[in-house]
């Protein structure tokens, strides 16, 4: 994910668990229908964890490994993608499917592919995401949704992290829930339930 480098409000889109699961199944179908038969899935942490797990299920592929690339801090972007917690094991001679949630700037995939190539030359390496943004310098082999008009995708496993970053940019305690809900809708185009908002604010309060 990437924050748009602008002082204007960040347009956002919320993805529900049901929608995520449907899109992950669709991604599995795309991989299967292409004829590619990976023998190992590699998830880019953290965003690729959940998509890769569903792909593991629907591709009937239990061999799942992971490593972490740090590039985005909630809705803020750092200057450089850095590999943390490197991949264990060798990929030499294997058919590898590298998985993330979204291709945005392309920097994460560039760092990830460089890292994997240091783990032995795979027989074939392909990439998959749920969402591909056309601004990305890298186009994955498989994606479900092509994003033409840039927006921040908020996935269900990152609700508190992303919403707290958005809220923290315009609000401070004591929290005015109605104002926050209105601002999220007006500035970012998202509608959040009050119970979810309260859980996020409780997290922000520590």
The Cα–Cα gap between 185 and 193 comes to 11
Residue 8's pLDDT is what?
76
44 pLDDT more than 50: yes
3-state SS of the chain is: CCCCCCCCCCCEEECCHHHHHHHHHHHHHHHHHHCCCCCEEEEEECCCHHHHHHHHHHCCCCCEEEEEEEEEECCEEEEEEEEECCCCCCCCCCEEEEECCEECCCHHHHHHHHHHHCCCCCCEEEEEEEEEECCCCCCCCEEEEEECCCCEEECHHHHHHHHHHHHHCCCCCCCCHHHHHHHHHHHHCCCCCHHHHHHHHHHHHC
Question: What are 89-141's pLDDT values in tens digits?
Answer: 999 999 999 999 999 999 999 999 999 999 999 999 999 999 999 999 999 99
Give me the residue label for tokens 């004829």: 35
Say what the pTM is. 0.91
Q: What is the C-alpha separation between 75 and 179, in angstroms, rounded?
A: 20
Every domain of the chain and the residues it spans? 16-150, 154-205
Task: Count CA atoms within 13 Å of residue 20 on its CB side.
Answer: 23
pLDDT digits (tens, 9 = 90+) for 155-186: 999 999 999 999 999 999 999 999 999 999 99
Highest CATH level, class, for 16-150: alpha beta
Query: For 37-62, what is the mean pLDDT?
Result: 98
- Measured CA to CA, the distance from residue 185 to residue 78 in angstroms comes to 26
Question: Given a cut of 90, is residue 72 above it in pLDDT?
Answer: no
């Amino acid at each position: 994910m990437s924050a748009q480098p602008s002082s204007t409000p960040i347009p956002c889109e919320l993805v529900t668990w049901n929608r995520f699961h449907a899109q992950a199944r669709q991604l599995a179908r795309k991989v299967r229908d292409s004829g590619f038969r990976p023998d190992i899935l590699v998830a880019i942490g953290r965003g690729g964890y959940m998509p890769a797990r569903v792909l593991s299920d629907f591709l009937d592929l239990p061999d799942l490994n992971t490593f972490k690339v740090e590039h985005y801090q909630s809705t803020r972007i750092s200057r450089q993608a850095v590999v943390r917690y490197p991949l264990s094991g060798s990929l030499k001679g294997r058919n590898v499917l590298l998985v993330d949630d979204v291709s945005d700037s392309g920097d994460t995939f560039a760092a990830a592919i460089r890292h994997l190539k240091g783990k032995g030359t795979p027989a074939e390496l392909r990439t998959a995401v749920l969402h591909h943004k056309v601004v990305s310098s890298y186009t994955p082999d498989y994606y479900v949704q092509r994003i033409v008009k840039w927006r921040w995708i908020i996935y269900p496993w990152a609700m508190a992290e992303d919403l707290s970053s958005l809220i923290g940019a315009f609000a401070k305690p004591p929290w005015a829930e109605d104002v926050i809900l209105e601002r999220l809708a007006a500035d970012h185009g998202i509608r959040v339930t009050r119970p979810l908002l309260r859980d996020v604010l409780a997290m922000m309060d520590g």
